[in-house]
Amino acid sequence: GAGVSQSPRYKVAKRGQDVALRCDPISGHVSLFWYQQALGQGPEFLTYFQNEAQLDKSGLPSDRFFAERPEGSVSTLKIQRTQQEDSAVYLCASSLSSGRPYNEQFFGPGTRLTVL
């Protein structure tokens, strides 16, 4: 595709609900990243995939957060039993490779999650 796309763009969930956020990276991009951006803050790293392998999940805030990329393209970030503190914009980014000079990251528009 022309760029990274994310869906839904907006999600409102009641506390305790499970949500699934989707990311379609740029076609052919090997690396995929998820970030969480709270209001007024910079994005914070959540997790990183290289193809289908999740190489780093150190930024996931709790075991309620789970990400997958089973076929090495589309990725889903799942949040179970949502809490109010999960309210944020979730950004997805992809890059052609993890190695220079192809590691420039391109971001999607984000999914704004509001937990009531």
Partner 1 sequence: KQEVTQIPAALSVPEGENLVLNCSFTDSAIYNLQWFRQDPGKGLTSLLLIQSSQREQTSGRLNASLDKSSGRSTLYIAASQPGDSATYLCAGLNTGNQFYFGTGTSLTVIP
Answer yes or no: are the C-beta atoms of 93 and 6 closer than 8 Å: no
d(CA 22, CA 65) in angstroms, rounded, equals 14
CB of 48 or CB of 82, closer to partner 1: 48
Segment interacting with partner 1, rule: CB under 8 A, options 22-30, 41-49, 65-73, 78-86: 41-49
Judged by CB under 8 A, the stretch of 22-30, 36-44, 67-75, 78-86 that binds partner 1 is: 36-44
Binding of residue 35 to partner 1 (CB under 8 A): yes
Q: State the amino acid at position 78 in one-letter form.
A: K
Q: Which residues contact 105 (CB under 8 A, 6 or more apart)?
A: 31, 33, 93, 94, 95
Task: For residue 72, state whether it binds partner 1 (rule: CB under 8 A).
Answer: no
User: How much helix, strand and coil, in percent to the nearest 5, is found in the chain?
Assistant: 5, 45, 50
> Where does this chain bind partner 1 (CB under 8 A)?
4, 6, 31, 33, 35, 40-45, 48, 55-56, 58-59, 91, 93, 98, 100-101, 103-110, 112
